[in-house]
Amino acid sequence: MNKVVGSIREAISLSGLRDGMTVSFHHHLRNGDYVLNLVMEEIAAMGLRGLTVNASALFDVHAPLLRHIEGGVVTGVAASYISGGLGRAFSRGILQGEVEFRTHGGRPKAIAQGVTPVDVAFIAAPAADAMGNCTGKFGPSACGSLGYAFADARYAKKVVVITDHLAPYPLQGWSISEDQVDYVVAVDAIGDPKGIVSGTTKMTRDPVGLLMASYAARVIEASGLLQEGFSFQTGAGGASLAAAQFLQEIMVRKKIRGSFASGGITGCLVEMLRAGCFESLLDVQCFDLKAVESLREDPRHQEISAMQYAAPGSRGAVVDSLDVVILGATEIDTDFNVNVHTDSSGVIMGGSGGHSDTAAGAKIAMVIAPMFRARMPMITDCVTCVSTPGRHIDVLVTQGGIAVNPQNGELKDRLRAAGLPVMEIRQLKEKAEGITGKPKAVSRGDRVVAKVIGREGELLSSIRSVPQNP
Amino acid sequence: MNKVVGSIREAISLSGLRDGMTVSFHHHLRNGDYVLNLVMEEIAAMGLRGLTVNASALFDVHAPLLRHIEGGVVTGVAASYISGGLGRAFSRGILQGEVEFRTHGGRPKAIAQGVTPVDVAFIAAPAADAMGNCTGKFGPSACGSLGYAFADARYAKKVVVITDHLAPYPLQGWSISEDQVDYVVAVDAIGDPKGIVSGTTKMTRDPVGLLMASYAARVIEASGLLQEGFSFQTGAGGASLAAAQFLQEIMVRKKIRGSFASGGITGCLVEMLRAGCFESLLDVQCFDLKAVESLREDPRHQEISAMQYAAPGSRGAVVDSLDVVILGATEIDTDFNVNVHTDSSGVIMGGSGGHSDTAAGAKIAMVIAPMFRARMPMITDCVTCVSTPGRHIDVLVTQGGIAVNPQNGELKDRLRAAGLPVMEIRQLKEKAEGITGKPKAVSRGDRVVAKVIGREGELLSSIRSVPQNP
């Protein structure tokens, strides 16, 4: 027995894919991914129509998808994140229906519960054997964790593994096991290593970013949570990395041994693990080569599925054990609602990812963002799109001051006592508008082009069309 | 958030368990298991009735279960193996209904497909954290692999982890992850280490066993399969271990590097891994301490779920990649049908376990068994119970000769050419009966006390009641 078939087309054909069905993809190869395009090209060539693409994220590299939408091959799109290049097209209304945004935890939950069933999952696998055991830890396109693909493999009716590194059976250190896989296809390359992970992720040198990062670390230090067993998550942006580095200095100096860091993992968090700041890393996605290598080599660095990472519900997930998460925002309003889906003119350029999931789970959810970008103030009366409800956000850190959600009075007192520049979020808003001026209201189309669905399945926001730029 | 509750009773109560529901257990603690009895004692004390117990295996230590059957607390029993002590009671007809035997691969498949849904799974976990991440690799009751518990954890409506070693969150090297667990209970002891794994498993010194083992190794050598990439499974019985040891000598001498050994793992197979005979071990259950230690320490030694091990169906499983499996038998008939459920008088004292699964998957399924036991011949015209259909058995090895299933003519020729004592199975039968005499036909009751369900869900055999011994 051997599940290797000769081509992607043969696997699609054997999978029984028909018009109107749903195909799924994961995004660990990020902007280096070849697999989604290869598969959709074949699907289009086979004359299939009316498909839904459910991807954990879509990047600019997936621009050919727009052609398949225009041609009617694809009529439904679901994702947790859509990059700016594609987002502009969706905001113009290229899709007849509405894009469905779910969170990194909500997506696998919806798949598991049959709310968004997947007919055929295509797993881009940096290493696989002929029976479908596969992992992202090895191979020329190694990307590390395959965390977002676990639910697709577990719940899709048919599962196709596509690899450029077919290893002898049984593959050692598999992430997804053969009992979930129907077909295996070997191709020349599943991705461009340059786009998959960056060689190194770098902390910011921008003075505004450094100031925010230093505030962020001091907020954590003052929060009362930075003690034995501390748990932490942050992103891969420059200011987040700088905040982690400042935090590391504090933890090493104070000899604080935390329990874990989670989420997308960077070399910066690997350094913290090695420095003894954490006992383990819980990794749903690797952002750089150092993280990939650590996941492969260090048993304290463990791969988690998106379910284990972030799925909502009574069983809980890693996010429910988080002390502090550092998050970004394109906009935040005076009720602390955060937008990470659109820019301030309403054009899609992101998505929740794990934003809402970690904000809901963590004891302190901290947003760090500059007061304005390109002369557009970041704090508004009402965000263009609610990605994460304000009740889950505890504190906003900007270069001009720190605002604490009134529902967290204790934190406010602690930050004040630590001498941090705490002010009301309305004061911060006015301060920013004093520099940039009040922005003009943005005009928006009537059509809903995307729905933002919260982690529990509730409708959070509707994103409206934006006229094409001249 | 924290899933630890104060007692087993509290967990049962929170789980919503009601009359008539199904509870499940795994058997990695073997004859040292305390958990099934602790849970059933509470269930009985709570006044629940009419429950079905679905256990991957039942051992003599679970004798208190008989009381719960007599009392009407338990009215259904499903298992893959039942030891002699309990088997006698079931053969007498203690259960009003019929015991349902399934294979190690058929059981998780039936659970997954909802044929035998589980309401509450109780996972005996040698190490766990407060969120339910758990493993058998660590702790005072370490048993190694938790392979048989994976399906229970994944598909049961509620999952309760019971541990005697609560470790800090996040547990490192979990086998079952927190997103599948509802409640965690800490108890003083989940088992008696003496009954869980033997300190060492020993090869036989019995000359009959050694002769069969030597034939078995020579059959493998002559089969044509013993080459680069060879894969192998054997049991923990004395003759099987001796066969493995003889095989190791051949492989080392001939410098043959196999790919994997699978199934229940013993120190003997660990030695073969270390000696370079295999690239990896695929472990659904550890039989001794050396296997437990190896699973913990050696990344080439990997835990597999019962699904990955043996589940039937188009996706395949490890058993489908097996070259040779060595199996036992209490009886085999002239059509090569094998009985491992009852003794020759029809009393339940075993079960298929992975017997049928590996026999169906392996290129060569070899049964080794002595020609007779206590003057009862092992080869019969018609087995008392069909555990594994004869079409899946390739060769029978006894001390008196070797019989090849006529459907495998090539193997027969190879064994003859190698000078092995090949004869027809009827000749072997007559040879045995020449020593023991023809056994008297066994009288059996009218009532069906157990159904043997094949790995694909088909009814293979009905086991009839046996009158109580005087």
Tokens linked to B306: 């019962």
Contacts of B253 (CB under 8 A, 6+ apart): none
Q: How many CB pairs under 8 A join A and B?
A: 100
SS percent in chain A: helix, strand, coil, step 5: 35, 25, 45
pLDDT classification of A201: cutoffs 50, 70, 90? low
- Tens of pLDDT, residue by residue over A348-376, are 999 999 999 999 999 999 999 999 998 89
**Which pLDDT score is estimated for B443?**
80
The three-state secondary structure class of A402 is strand
CA dihedral B379→B380→B383→B384, nearest 10 degrees, is: -110
Q: Which of A178, A179, A273 to mutate to test the interface with B (most CBs of B within 10 A)?
A: A179
Q: Do residue B280 and residue A311 have CB atoms under 8 angstroms apart?
A: no
Among chain B residues, CA nearest to A303: B173
For A239, which DSSP code?
H
Q: What is the pTM of this model?
A: 0.96
**Which pLDDT score is estimated for A197?**
78
Residues of chain B positioned with their CB less than 8 A from the CB of A155: none
Q: Do residue A308 and residue B259 have CB atoms under 8 angstroms apart?
A: no
- Residue A365 pairs with which residues in a beta bridge? A325
For chain B, domain boundaries: 4-56+104-196, 207-443
Residues of chain B positioned with their CB less than 8 A from the CB of A178: 308, 315-318
Residues of chain B positioned with their CB less than 8 A from the CB of A173: 299, 302
| B8, B36 contact by CB (below 8 A) | no
Tell me the DSSP string of A411-455.
HHHHHHHTT--B--HHHHHHHHHHHH-PPPPPP--SSEEEEEE-T
Residue B303: φ, ψ to 5°: -75, 135
Q: Do residue A299 and residue B172 have CB atoms under 8 angstroms apart?
A: yes
CA–CA gap between residue A5 and residue A11 (Å, rounded): 6
Looking at CA atoms only, how far is residue A333 from chain B in angstroms?
Answer: 29
Residues of chain A positioned with their CB less than 8 A from the CB of B168: 229, 259, 279
B282 in reach of chain A (CB within 8 A)? yes
Residues of chain A positioned with their CB less than 8 A from the CB of B229: 168
Residue in B229, B304, B315 closest to A180 by CB: B315
Contacts of B291 (CB under 8 A, 6+ apart): B144, B197, B265, B266, B267, B269, B270, B283, B301
Query: With a CB-CB cutoff of 8 Å, which residues 219-258 of chain A face chain B?
Result: 229
CA–CA gap between residue A396 and residue A431 (Å, rounded): 14
Q: Which of A297, A281, A277 is nearest to A230 (CA)?
A: A277
Taken in order B208, B210, B211, B212, is the CA torsion positive or negative?
A: positive
Among chain A residues, CA nearest to B262: A170
Residue in A168, A182, A307 closest to B314 by CB: A182
Q: Do residue A178 and residue B317 have CB atoms under 8 angstroms apart?
A: yes
Q: Do residue A316 and residue B170 have CB atoms under 8 angstroms apart?
A: no
Element (H, E) at B283: strand B280-286
Query: With a CB-CB cutoff of 8 Å, which residues 374-393 of chain A face chain B?
Result: none
Residue in A3, A314, A316 closest to B131 by CB: A316
B1 in reach of chain A (CB within 8 A)? yes
Query: With a CB-CB cutoff of 8 Å, which residues 118-137 of chain A face chain B?
Result: 131-132
Q: Which of A360, A350, A175, A148 is nearest to A263 (CA)?
A: A148
Q: Do residue A173 and residue B308 have CB atoms under 8 angstroms apart?
A: no
Q: Do residue B316 and residue A1 have CB atoms under 8 angstroms apart?
A: yes
CA–CA gap between residue B61 and residue A327 (Å, rounded): 53
On the CB side of B36, CA atoms within 13 Å amount to 29
CA–CA gap between residue B269 and residue B281 (Å, rounded): 8
B358 in reach of chain A (CB within 8 A)? no
CA distances in angstroms from B396 to A283, B205, B213, B390, B405, listed in the order given: 49, 21, 12, 11, 8
Q: Which of B51, B193, B197 is nearest to B122 (CA)?
A: B51
B279 in reach of chain A (CB within 8 A)? yes
Task: Give the mean pLDDT of A449-465.
Answer: 97
Among chain B residues, CA nearest to A311: B179
Q: Do residue A280 and residue B170 have CB atoms under 8 angstroms apart?
A: yes
Class for domain B207-443, per CATH?
alpha beta
- Neighbour tally for A431: CB within 10 Å: 16
Q: What sections of A171-319 are H helices per DSSP? A: 193-196, 207-222, 238-254, 267-274, 289-297, 306-310
Residues of chain A positioned with their CB less than 8 A from the CB of B308: 177-179
Q: Do residue A181 and residue B314 have CB atoms under 8 angstroms apart?
A: no
Among chain A residues, CA nearest to B176: A308
Radius of gyration, CA atoms only, chain A:
22
Q: Do residue A311 and residue B179 have CB atoms under 8 angstroms apart?
A: yes
**Which CATH number does A4-56+104-196 carry?**
3.40.1080.10
Same topology, domains B4-56+104-196 and B207-443? Answer is yes
Contacts of A65 (CB under 8 A, 6+ apart): A36, A37, A40, A53, A58, A74, A77, A86
Residues of chain A positioned with their CB less than 8 A from the CB of B260: 169-170
pLDDT in tens, chain B (470 residues): 789 999 999 999 999 999 999 999 999 999 999 999 999 999 999 999 999 999 999 999 999 999 999 999 999 999 999 999 999 999 999 999 999 999 999 999 999 999 999 999 999 999 999 999 999 999 999 999 999 999 999 999 999 999 999 999 999 999 999 999 999 999 999 999 888 877 666 778 899 999 999 999 999 999 999 999 999 999 888 899 999 999 999 999 999 999 999 999 999 999 999 999 999 999 999 999 999 999 999 999 999 999 999 999 889 899 999 999 999 999 999 999 999 999 989 999 999 999 999 999 999 999 999 999 988 999 999 999 999 999 999 999 999 999 999 999 999 999 999 999 999 999 999 999 999 999 888 888 889 999 999 999 999 999 999 986 54
Looking at CA atoms only, how far is residue A254 from chain B in angstroms?
Answer: 21
A180 in reach of chain B (CB within 8 A)? yes
Taken in order A458, A462, A463, A465, is the CA torsion positive or negative?
A: positive
Residues of chain A positioned with their CB less than 8 A from the CB of B132: 315
**Which pLDDT score is estimated for B194?**
86
Q: Do residue A179 and residue B302 have CB atoms under 8 angstroms apart?
A: no
pLDDT classification of A199: cutoffs 50, 70, 90? low
- Neighbour tally for B417: CB within 10 Å: 10
Q: Do residue B178 and residue A317 have CB atoms under 8 angstroms apart?
A: yes
Element (H, E) at B417: helix B409-417
Complex ipTM: 0.95
Query: With a CB-CB cutoff of 8 Å, which residues 301-330 of chain A face chain B?
Result: 302, 304-305, 307-308, 311, 314-318, 320-321
- Tens of pLDDT, residue by residue over A93-103, are 999 999 999 99
**Which pLDDT score is estimated for B335?**
98
Looking at CA atoms only, how far is residue A460 from chain B in angstroms?
Answer: 25
**Which pLDDT score is estimated for A470?**
40
**Which pLDDT score is estimated for B314?**
81
**Which pLDDT score is estimated for A469?**
58
Q: What sections of B160-264 are H helices per DSSP? A: 193-196, 207-222, 238-253
Tokens linked to A451: 């729905």
B260 in reach of chain A (CB within 8 A)? yes
Residues of chain B positioned with their CB less than 8 A from the CB of A321: 1, 131, 169-170
Residue in B1, B177, B260 closest to A308 by CB: B177
| A120, A371 contact by CB (below 8 A) | no
Peptide bond into B193 cis (omega under 30): no
Among chain A residues, CA nearest to B130: A321
Contacts of B278 (CB under 8 A, 6+ apart): B231, B232, B257, B258, B259, B260, B261, B269, B272
Among chain A residues, CA nearest to B281: A170
A280 in reach of chain B (CB within 8 A)? yes
Tokens linked to A109: 């939950």
